[in-house]
Amino acid sequence: MARQDTRGMNPTHLKVPTAQQRPTMNLWPEVGEILGLSKASVYAAAASGEIPTIRVGRRILVPTAALRRLLSLDAELTGRTPLDAA
């Protein structure tokens, strides 16, 4: 299966489900592909706290709501822009 090249692509163009549709996502490969990161990079970002995670047994999950906030995908719902958070 060929991977889609997402480098240089705006993450907001990728299909990220809502928290109601899918409460959590797998760190790898799902979140890694959305962010355009390699397996090593996505695990390093999770370990450093840059990507919020939940550990369930051996699985590392990313709360979908937290990922959407990280990518500012719900800014149109709150009326805030990514710059407002700064």
The pLDDT assigned to 15 comes to 83
**pLDDT of 16-39, one tens digit each?**
999 999 999 999 999 999 999 999
Sheet holding 59-63, edge to edge: 24-26, 59-63, 54-56
| H-state helical runs in the chain | 32-35, 39-47, 64-70, 75-78
Question: pLDDT at residue 80 above 70?
Answer: no
Q: 4 in helix, strand or coil? A: coil
Mean pLDDT, the chain, rounded, equals 82
**Phi, psi angle pair for 16, to nearest 5°:** -110, 120
The answer to whether the pTM exceeds 0.95 is no
Percent of the chain with pLDDT over 70: 70
